[in-house]
Amino acid sequence: QKEVEQNSGPLSVPEGAIASLNCTYSDRVSQSFFWYRQYSGKSPELIMSIYSNGDKEDGRFTAQLNKASQYVSLLIRDSQPSDSATYLCAVSSFNKFYFGSGTKLNVKP
């Protein structure tokens, strides 16, 4: 079983809609959780970090963490075509980071 699981997509949403990206992880002692955005041919860019249960909002982005269910999600409100990218969920435990395979998001104009 992989440490971090994501649906590979592609997830297609119309411009202005809410995009919902999900991630589950297997290690119960995981301590830190991250969402990265990666455009084709570019390196991953950190969007959000979340460390405790609940919601964390930053602009159009909201990360949600539920440690009991070992579940992390990212909501993107008012999706824009420029949000089209692959979104990587990452989980860290002590000094190691584990990445999901990413969900490809397409925002259609």
Instruction: Report the interface residues with other proteins, using CB under 8 A.
Output: 31-32, 34, 40-46, 49, 51, 88, 90, 92-97, 99-102
Q: How far is the CB of 51 from other proteins (least distance, A)?
A: 7
Q: How far is the CB of 31 from other proteins (least distance, A)?
A: 5
- Closer residue to other proteins in complex, CB, 7/17: 7
Between CA 34 and CA 99, with CA 78 as vertex, the angle to 5 degrees is: 20
- Say if residues 35 and 59 touch (Cβ distance below 8 Å): no
Q: How far is the CB of 43 from other proteins (least distance, A)?
A: 4
- Closer residue to other proteins in complex, CB, 18/96: 96
